[in-house]
Amino acid sequence: MVSCLSGLQCRTNFTIKNITEYMLPDTKEAFYLHLDGKSPNLIIRPAFEVFSGELATIAGVHAKYDYFHNAEMTRFPKRLHKSLTETHYGLAFSFDTVEAVQQFVSRLGAIVKGA
């Protein structure tokens, strides 16, 4: 996943624990890579929720049902979730293939640029 994102010219800003912040190529739009034991997830801003159905129709892309919460996703908005303090949150997607990741990042970039 990391080499795929590098090949797509997504630049990384930082890694804390299992979260890495990336920027889409030629934009200032941040997204996050969450690596855990099972499968990597890409997390995008909740503002893109209106596009989640479209992004999930890409072959090999699976939208997660609920919001993904993590305190390290500092560019994202916050909301209350299982605690007394607000936590940053976003929309998580998992992938079956490298091609699915490439198509997802390409489509997300087009949405951000207004194409």
User: What per-residue confidence (pLDDT) applies to 37?
Assistant: 74
- Residue 91 class from Cβ within 10 Å (0-12 exposed, 13-18 middle, 19+ buried)? buried
What residue ranges do the domains of the chain occupy? 2-113
Q: What would the mean pLDDT of 97-110 be, rounded to a whole number?
A: 96
Nearest to 88 by CA among 24, 28, 21: 21
User: What per-residue confidence (pLDDT) applies to 115?
Assistant: 58
pTM check: above 0.75: yes
Domain 2-113 fold: Aspartate Aminotransferase, domain 1 (3.90.1150)
- Residues 41-91: pLDDT tens digits? 999 999 999 999 999 999 999 999 899 999 999 999 999 988 889 999 999
**Backbone φ, ψ for residue 25 (5° rounding):** -60, 135
Q: Report which DSSP code applies to 27.
A: S
The proportion of the chain whose per-residue pLDDT surpasses 90, expressed as a percent, equals 86
